[in-house]
């Protein structure tokens, strides 16, 4: 028994010696210069550890969640529990028409706002991939589309109560058919919507340039008549319906007097007879309008100078837009009045300048200076209507006229 006790004491002593040797070795290998006290927790700072460490997070469970396959989806719009989400075979993703419509990519579970949006996406997909998509069932609650006979491409979609949208339920994305050069989905309306921004940048785009853009973007050829209809619709969207706009002039004048009392709005018409209207038809002749807020602001803090100029309108009904602007105390352009006439001539400028003078209640024109280009009708009108005012000419227009007549 004594032998066993001595053996135990000896082994215990040997273990203490080994631990002390190991501690000394670790101390020799540790470099105090590499320690950073900024990240060490001082004594009594245990509350920092409790405050910033989340004891409810299981690292192993978090790693399992991060390793989930892509087809396990979490749709925030559904508000499903974790168990219900795990039972789903796919997750739902919304179709963004502003981004995805240019080059649609379908997949099972994709949600559309309604069946109309899905139809538009199918047309865009058909044109972008040059395949003829046929709609076997095309109803409000269900849509089934197939490709050519013998091609395995298939899409089935319908209403979904969970997402309250139109969801793709079956989709086979493989095509085994040849590309098509003529597609029914490629209509003038589609070309108008697809290239509307191109026409906003270049409203004078020719049909040849438009055809090359269609070929480069969609890799398909379109006949000239369809391109012409698409361009006409695009310009109509950009400019608006001019007939409708002219018909609303009286409504605009009434609204102007209601919103800004004291404003001036004058419209003059004349009767025109032709083969289409043998009894005569009222046509627009003159328009003048000015805002009361601009008139009062200019009269209270104006510089005695008025700039007059005309701009030829290149719309369907042509005409000339006459403008009169001043300068405010900050040397910025200050609008005074705008007019529209059929032709820029002496009588048109006399009418506009006379209306402007009476509208501003100007009796003595000697303190004022009128600046313009050297348009003959405007020069004669200023001499007649503003006889005592100084008439000066714009240096930029003088330079352009000089440069046209004296090259180099």
Please, are residues 74 and 91 in contact by the beta-carbon 8 Å criterion?
A: yes
Please, are residues 112 and 166 in contact by the beta-carbon 8 Å criterion?
A: yes
Domain boundaries, the chain: 93-172, 188-239, 249-405
pLDDT 10s digit of each residue in the chain, 408 long?
454 445 545 555 555 554 454 444 444 444 444 444 455 555 555 555 555 555 555 544 444 444 443 333 444 444 555 555 555 544 567 888 777 787 888 888 888 888 888 888 888 888 888 888 888 888 888 999 998 888 999 999 988 877 678 888 899 988 888 887 778 888 888 889 888 988 998 888 998 999 898 888 888 888 889 999 999 999 888 888 777 888 888 899 999 989 999 999 999 888 888 887 888 888 888 999 999 999 999 888 888 999 999 999 887 788 999 999 998 888 889 999 999 999 999 999 999 999 999 999 999 999 999 999 888 889 999 999 999 999 998 888 888 888 888 887
Please, are residues 363 and 386 in contact by the beta-carbon 8 Å criterion?
A: no
Put simply, whether the predicted model's pTM sits higher than 0.75 gets the answer no
Please, are residues 148 and 132 in contact by the beta-carbon 8 Å criterion?
A: yes
Cβ neighbours for 181, distance < 8 A, ≥ 6 positions apart: 130, 220, 221
């Amino acid at each position: 028994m004594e032998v066993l006790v001595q053996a135990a004491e000896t082994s215990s002593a040997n273990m203490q010696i080994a631990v002390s040797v190991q501690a000394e070795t670790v101390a020799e290998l540790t470099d105090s210069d590499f320690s950073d006290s900024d990240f060490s927790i001082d004594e009594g700072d245990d509350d920092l550890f409790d405050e910033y460490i989340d004891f409810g997070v299981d690292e192993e469970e978090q790693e399992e969640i991060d390793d989930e396959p892509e087809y396990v989806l979490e749709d925030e719009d559904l508000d499903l529990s974790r168990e219900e989400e795990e039972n789903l075979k796919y997750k739902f993703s919304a179709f963004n028409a502003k981004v995805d419509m240019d080059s649609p990519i379908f997949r099972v579970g994709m949600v559309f706002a309604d069946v109309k949006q899905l139809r538009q996406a199918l047309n865009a997909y058909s044109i972008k991939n040059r395949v003829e998509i046929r709609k076997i069932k095309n109803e409000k609650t269900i849509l089934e589309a197939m490709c050519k006979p013998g091609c395995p491409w298939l899409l089935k979609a319908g209403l979904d109560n969970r997402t309250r949208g139109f969801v793709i339920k079956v989709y086979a994305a493989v095509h085994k058919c040849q590309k098509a050069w003529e597609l029914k989905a490629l209509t003038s309306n589609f070309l108008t919507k697809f290239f509307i921004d191109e026409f906003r940048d270049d409203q004078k785009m020719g049909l040849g340039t438009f055809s090359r853009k269609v070929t480069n973007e969609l890799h398909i050829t379109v006949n000239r008549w369809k391109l012409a209809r698409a361009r006409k619709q695009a310009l109509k969207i950009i400019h608006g319906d001019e007939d409708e706009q002219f018909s609303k002039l009286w409504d605009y004048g009434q609204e102007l007097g209601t919103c800004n009392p004291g404003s001036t709005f004058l419209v003059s018409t004349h009767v025109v007879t032709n083969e289409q209207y043998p009894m005569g038809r009222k046509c627009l002749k003159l328009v003048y309008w000015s805002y009361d807020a601009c008139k009062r602001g200019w009269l209270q803090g104006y510089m005695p100078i008025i700039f007059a100029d005309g701009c030829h309108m290149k719309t369907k009904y042509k005409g000339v837009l006459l403008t009169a602007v001043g300068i405010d105390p900050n040397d910025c352009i200050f609008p005074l009045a705008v007019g529209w006439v059929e032709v820029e001539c002496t009588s048109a400028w006399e009418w506009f300048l006379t209306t402007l003078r009476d509208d501003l209640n100007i009796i003595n024109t000697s303190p004022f200076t009128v600046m313009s280009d050297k348009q003959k009708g405007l020069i004669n009108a200023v001499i007649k209507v503003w006889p005592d005012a100084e008439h000066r000419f714009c240096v930029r227009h003088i330079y352009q006229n000089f440069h046209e007549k004296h090259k180099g």
